Amino acid sequence: MSKLTVTNFKDIAIGNLTIDKDEDNDHKSRSSSYICRGVPQCVPIIPSFFFTDDWRLGLFVENVPLDMLTTMRLLCKDWQRVADRFIDGKIESGEMIVVGGNDISGKEAWAVRERRSLATQVVFLLNVTKVGDRVCSNASNLAVVEIPEGVESIGVCAFYHCTSLTTVSFPTSLRSIAYGSFQFCSSLDNVDLLHTQLQELGDCAFWGCSELKSMTIPDSLQKIGNDVFIYCLKLVPSHIDVDEGSDSDADDAVTHEVIALLRSQQNP
């Protein structure tokens, strides 16, 4: 398997990004500075000589949000060198998972399971529309994930067995959560989907989320797959049999009953 580095990523884009060179009239020896326009958080104006001081750059970059780093690397070769070195170091150590929309096979996910357990951060590339299959599976030290706007689907077992995951922020653009996406996320206690465009929860999506106590859902959700809430007894009481087998009529009945339950909880 090839080494995953930021410099190998494809199709990085940033909307209306424009770059201006701003001559420093007061300090001609500093050459030019770079200004980034058209992004939510502007990259600071930095004189060119700053790039030659690795110590100062290291201190600065360590405190820069990860989403800004992926923007900074587009500005010029100097920023690319700085950002890539920092991000590559995080990837090399196993601390960071980078989501680029690609799927990971079951075999690949199993091969990197121990490395995934070291991850504490996830960064999403710009314009990603899918959290790929198994991309964060077995990241057992991952606690917080903020899925960015534009993502429409969460893939098969994307966050499978992320046992420390407590907080997930979902985008309004989300439409589907696939099979086993959050299976065995045993620390997850609240899921807010009310603001999303979610239409379907795939089979086993939240199986084994034993601490899950609260879930808000949008009106657009009309279908819940098989075994979505198995062992989610703090959310769905035991008198609702969430394991109805392959009987389609029974499945439809469970779907309606669970949806009614969740909506009653969010609208007491």
Instruction: Spell out the domain ranges in the chain.
Output: 6-92, 101-268
Average pLDDT over residues 66-88: 71
State residue 150's pLDDT score: 92
Query: 77-93 and 54-61 helices cross at what angle (nearest 10)?
Result: 60
C-alpha span between 201 and 198 (Å, rounded): 8
Say which range, 52-66, 191-205, 222-236, 243-257, has the weakest mean pLDDT.
243-257
pLDDT reading at 219 higher than 60: yes
Q: Which of 231, 173, 187 is nearest to 205 (CA)?
A: 231
User: Domain 101-268 carries which CATH code?
Assistant: 3.80.10.10
Average pLDDT over residues 110-122: 89
**HSE of 4 in the Cβ direction (CA atoms, 13 Å)?**
18
Express each pLDDT in 81-103 by its tens digit: 777 777 777 777 777 787 888 89
What are the contacts of 57-62 at 24+ separation with CB within 8 A?
Answer: 57/82, 58/86, 61/86, 62/86
Question: 139 pLDDT band (50/70/90 cuts)?
Answer: very high
pLDDT reading at 262 higher than 60: yes
pLDDT reading at 13 higher than 70: no
pLDDT reading at 243 higher than 60: yes
Average pLDDT over residues 202-224: 93
